Structure 1
Amino acid sequence: MEILRKGKGATIGNDKCDLVLKNGKFINVFTEEIEEGDIGIIDDTIIGIGSYEGIKEIDCSSKVICPGFMDGHIHVESSMTTPESYGNVALANGVTTVVADPHEIANVLGIDGISFMLDSAQRSPLDIYFMMPSCVPAVSFEENGAILSAEDLSKFIDKPEVIGLGEVMDIPSVIEQAPSMMNKLNVFRDKIIDGHAPQISYKHLNQYILSGVSTDHECSSKEEALEKVKLGMYILIREGSAAKNLKDLISAVNNKNFRRFLFCTDDRHLEDLVEEGSINNAIKLSIQSGIDPIKAYIMGSYNGYTCYGIKDKGAIAPGYKADLVILNDLNEVDIYKVIKSGREIDDYNKLSYIVKSENTMNIEKLKEEDFRILSNGNKVNVIGVTPGSLETKLLVKSSKTIDGYLDMSEYEDILKIGVFERHKNTNHYSLGYLSGLCIKNCAIAQSIAHDSHNIIVIGDNDKDMCKAVNKLIDIGGGITIVSEGVLIDSLSLEIGGLMTNSPIDYVYNKLKNLNRLVKNYGLKPDMDAFITLSFMSLPVIPKVKLTSKGLFSYDLFKFIELSFN
């Protein structure tokens, strides 16, 4: 054991450490105390706490040192950058490890998409562990680009970076013990299995946990979180771009149960990662909400590593990896330096590899008349957006009928929404209505539409909606904004319609401009139109969503009529 020999030499004063953090205070995750002492580092490992000399030393007087943060559940694709590029942004926020579920790109490219993510992650400065996607497609009726079986997923199980099965969203398949789902659960029975069970009944929750699921990141209330913790689950408190659950969940955390809570971002746009942060933001918000700072940092580091069985990270002690965050201020989570694998991280914008990609927009151009909706009655089911949540409401509105088609123009806050299958050129699509985004005189189209990632579009007029979709097809996927028949701006996401090779600065500035433009057309200041829109087609989130096959009720778990009498 070479590190043991080197550690002995440094401890008795014969040798110097590679790096020593001098004169600092640090969080002890085992005792929940702030302690003092030099932190000696050789190679990528902490060899001891005490008094050490180093070839390089960092004076940490007036600083506080904590373990590197961990994001317990993310979809890298939601940053619109590759894993390699994403790692640089995460490290700037003190996140040194993430657990990623690549089910977004897997829904487009299948096994090839997973292989791409694992390959790109090897070039990232970040430690990226993977959960294999359990639900591709999310539910059996979805129209996506691939279907992954237990046999497909088993091809990845022996890779060291693959630590479990990703969020099990198809709850009916678990409850009914569908063979395809049982096979996947069986393949990963000796690894971690992530959950996805919003508002599940207590009876079904017991069976769900019995199937091997041990985590959940879909709680939306304190009561729901406590119910799941009492049955032994780990709760991932999510603070993403659209889903911001921390405020509602943090009061569930107390001195007796806080070891069962950790943080995740799930889906977070690059703009938010750069401006607000990642897990560092969640820690800061928790402290502001009254959580003891040391407990907040433990939730942001050690608890996550414990949950996912990663034994050599998340603490400042001999034998742990030297993934550390040096803070100017504990309560403000003000980062001074980040240490990853025993060295300082200096360059957060380096991208060394360009991915070759093929156009995945397999769909014919649309016509304006494709956006007309036949009337089946004078009442209409409308999707109601809930700010700060992925969950929606089911609203019922009255409608006019003109020449046999629905006309909702009397409502200033109701937009038309469409989902168009784009993987296999089936010509399948559906149309509906949405309330809560408030944009006027424009249309937004994007190829980011969880989880099947078909084309999703909203607008207040058919002409702009048609133009936005056709421009999206032209650029190979991404985001387009059209007003009065003119393309206002766009972002090309040439990798599966989800990610881009473009540099971080370019993507960040482009997203800033896209958000600014949409707000000029009436979007509320505190809303992200693009990430909100991306979840309006995900049928495994309450209460109603639109897929390429129609309007789907989560509560009934079946399709419902758009208009009726």
Structure 2
Amino acid sequence: MMNTSVEERLAVIETTMGRRPPTVWFKGGQVLNVYTGAVEYQDVWVGGSQIAFVGSREEGKLNPDSSTKVVDVEGMVLVPGYIEPHSHPFQLYNPVSLTEKVLPLGTTAMIHDNLYFFRSLDDDRWQEWRERLTASAVHHFWWARLDAQARLDADEDPFTLERVKLAMSHPSTLQAGELTDWMPLLSGDQKRVAMVEQAHRYGKRVEGHSPGASYRTLSRLAAAGVTGDHESITVEEVLHRLRLGYMTTLRYSSLRPDLPDLIRGLLQQQAPVPWHRLMMTTDGPTPPALRQGHVDAMIRVAIQAGCPPEHAYGMVTLNPAVYFGLDAHIGGIAPGRSADINVLRSLEDPTPIQVFVRGERAAQSGRLLVEQPQPDWERFPPLISAPWRLQKKDVALSLEKGEQAPVIHLVNPVITQLKWEAVDEVDEERLFVSLIDPAGQWTTQAFLRGFARGIDGLASSYNGSGDLLLLGRDPDAMVKAGQRVLDNGGGIAWFQGGGESFFLPLPIGGKMSDQPIDDLIEKSEELVTKLKNFDHPFHDPIYTFLFLSSTHLPQVRLTRDGLVRIKDGAIIRPATPLT
């Protein structure tokens, strides 16, 4: 959770009692009171890092002096700093570069997925790195994942009960999950049940991940301890979750931009909308989506869809703060709360002119004013521990004439179907696809249809399992692309027509860039544009890379064990050892 030091508490007490001058005085503006929904003309007084008083100088009997910083906000509206309740801080970017991008947009608190860090770092390194982030201007909180979302060797599985309990016990951990693999919970698996129960004992929330689940399944998950879910794509699904007591999060992500339709659908219901049980999330936007904004963009979309502004702001301030037990510290402009304040031109324009965090100006006019702590990225485990060389046989299936082969069909950027085809003839849309152990121990091979036409060789170390993903029609180009990624410790590489067409380095464990997000936006958009020229049908290919080896979505996935059917875990085609 959040702790206030004795010194901080004394500073705000001395200020509110008039014995110490305020450090900051927001003068002459309006304040959105997220507790009542009212917009009122009020001054805001800060003592140190916290709000000391909201109201006039005469009412508060405060004593500003020459040391008090006066912020003239006449004609403007003050709202609380925004909270992102469901952040995936490794979508090519890293938590620091994400902070640098979204803080000037008004996001002052994020609750992050720990999946990649928990899998990659030992407990001491993870703890050290997490503590380093506490010096950030943004409030960083975390989930505690319960499963890997990919197939791992049993002796390599980091998700032991003891490790997960240790992660959940940390004050900055606010929830367990998200539960992408929830069947063990409903099956009564003792380890999974113990993890969920431990979360409740620590006072943590439990986030589900139940796309398309029926009312009955959602009810069973709630009985098993799940408290929230963000997977609604229809109004009926939203209402199911609300009726079952879930804290329900509406998405406006680069993969599922459902928010405006859900808002309009909720407003058409005869019953009043239970706004206090709703939150909003960007759900890990890929870099191109951040061009339009972050939480500020979500608020704008919600208001344009008809959501009353006070509720749009409440879904990203007070509501997540209450749900996660943080409302005594953040989520509103009130005495005793952290002075996290966004200064807006109007409620209809949620992108702030100025951003204050803990009473300090952190951003102005879209420009970051504070430096962020930089972890020692070199201490992250490398993509490979020993060099080895790819060969053509590692990347492409070798079949007899007329032999039937498994073909993964992309239904959308992340959902797949399995079909079998004879591969006698050349087909520009049917590509080889392989998942290869970066240490050179195994390869899983199949074909892929529906991604693009005529791609020679494309490789990515950014994927759900942390392995090397390759696809293309030309094994020689696939080897070149894969070797480029391996030789550089990670990245996305594309070879076409005999030469390199694209390369994005991902030096942080093969998954994250150390570059600013604005640079990543340009580079990612370049990749999307190039793929569109090869008839890529979807808007977000980065998510396809991520989920082809993630084992929580239908129908088939590439894994270290082979091509696996998700529903029953059957291995359609086993992995091949590499020598």
TM over 0.5: yes
Structure 2: how far apart are the matches of 1:558 and 1:249?
A: 36
Q: Counterpart of 1:367?
A: 391
Selected match of 1:276 from 270, 286, 292: 292
Contact 2:562 2:571 in 1 (8 A): yes
Selected match of 1:302 from 318, 323, 328: 318
**Displacement of 1:117:** 4.5
Contact 1:77 1:102 in 2 (8 A): no
Q: Counterpart of 1:84?
A: 96
Structure 2: how far apart are the matches of 1:373 and 1:7?
A: 71
Give the counterpart letter for 1:369 in structure 2: K
Q: Counterpart of 2:444?
A: 429
Contact 2:383 2:486 in 1 (8 A): no
For 1:230-249, list aligned pairs within 5 A. 230-249=243-262
Selected match of 1:497 from 510, 516, 531: 510
For 1:166-205, list aligned pairs within 5 A. 166-190=177-201, 191-205=204-218
For 1:50-449, list aligned pairs within 5 A. 50-52=55-57, 53=64, 55-81=68-94, 83-109=95-121, 111=123, 114-115=126-127, 117-135=129-147, 137-138=148-149, 146-190=157-201, 191-251=204-264, 253-254=266-267, 255-273=272-290, 275-311=291-327, 312-346=329-363, 347=368, 350=371, 352-353=373-374, 354-357=376-379, 358-362=381-385, 364-370=388-394, 371-374=396-399, 378=404, 381-386=407-412, 390=414, 392-394=415-417, 396=419, 399-402=421-424, 407=425, 409-410=426-427, 412-422=428-438, 425-435=440-450, 437-449=451-463
Structure 1: how far apart are the matches of 2:518 and 2:423?
A: 48
**Displacement of 1:319:** 1.4
Q: TM-score, normalised by structure 2?
A: 0.85
- Any idea what SS the aligned residue of 2:408 has? strand
Q: Which range moved further: 152-161 or 339-348?
A: 152-161
Contact 1:105 1:498 in 2 (8 A): no
Give the counterpart letter for 1:372 in structure 2: L
- Any idea what SS the aligned residue of 2:442 has? coil
Q: Any idea what the Cα deviations from partners look like across 1:13-32, whole Å, max 9, x if unmatched?
A: 66531111111112111111
Q: Counterpart of 1:536?
A: 548
Structure 1: how far apart are the matches of 2:369 and 2:541?
A: 27
Q: Any idea what the Cα deviations from partners look like across 1:242-297, whole Å, max 9, x if unmatched?
A: 33332453345454322111122232233432x12211111111112221121111
Seen in structure 2, the aligned counterparts of structure 1 residues 430 and 364 have a Cα distance that, compared at 3 Å, is: farther
Structure 2: how far apart are the matches of 1:348 and 1:15?
A: 27
Q: TM-score, normalised by structure 1?
A: 0.87
Seen in structure 2, the aligned counterparts of structure 1 residues 147 and 21 have a Cα distance that, compared at 3 Å, is: same
2:57 matched to 1:19? Answer: no
Alignment root-mean-square deviation, CA: 3.0
**Displacement of 1:426:** 2.6
- Any idea what SS the aligned residue of 1:76 has? coil
Identity %: 23
**Displacement of 1:513:** 3.9
Seen in structure 2, the aligned counterparts of structure 1 residues 129 and 295 have a Cα distance that, compared at 3 Å, is: same
Contact 1:349 1:504 in 2 (8 A): no
Give the counterpart letter for 2:56 in structure 1: S
Q: Which range moved further: 245-254 or 22-31?
A: 245-254
- Any idea what SS the aligned residue of 1:197 has? coil
- Any idea what SS the aligned residue of 2:345 has? strand
**Displacement of 1:107:** 3.0
Q: Any idea what the Cα deviations from partners look like across 1:420-456, whole Å, max 9, x if unmatched?
A: 233x543132323131x33534433111212x22222
Seen in structure 2, the aligned counterparts of structure 1 residues 361 and 244 have a Cα distance that, compared at 3 Å, is: farther
Structure 1: how far apart are the matches of 2:410 and 2:555?
A: 9
- Any idea what SS the aligned residue of 1:17 has? coil
Q: Any idea what the Cα deviations from partners look like across 1:328-348, whole Å, max 9, x if unmatched?
A: 232232321111111111436
Seen in structure 2, the aligned counterparts of structure 1 residues 440 and 26 have a Cα distance that, compared at 3 Å, is: farther
**Displacement of 1:480:** 1.3
Seen in structure 2, the aligned counterparts of structure 1 residues 482 and 143 have a Cα distance that, compared at 3 Å, is: farther
Give the counterpart letter for 1:321 in structure 2: S
Gaps of 5+ in 2: 1-5, 58-63, 575-579
Structure 2: how far apart are the matches of 1:139 and 1:506?
A: 30
Contact 2:42 2:54 in 1 (8 A): yes
Contact 2:135 2:372 in 1 (8 A): no
Structure 2: how far apart are the matches of 1:168 and 1:381?
A: 28
Gaps of 5+ in 1: none
Structure 2: how far apart are the matches of 1:79 and 1:33?
A: 40
**Displacement of 1:58:** 1.4
Structure 1: how far apart are the matches of 2:534 and 2:131?
A: 40
Structure 2: how far apart are the matches of 1:103 and 1:222?
A: 29
Q: Which range moved further: 25-34 or 144-153?
A: 144-153
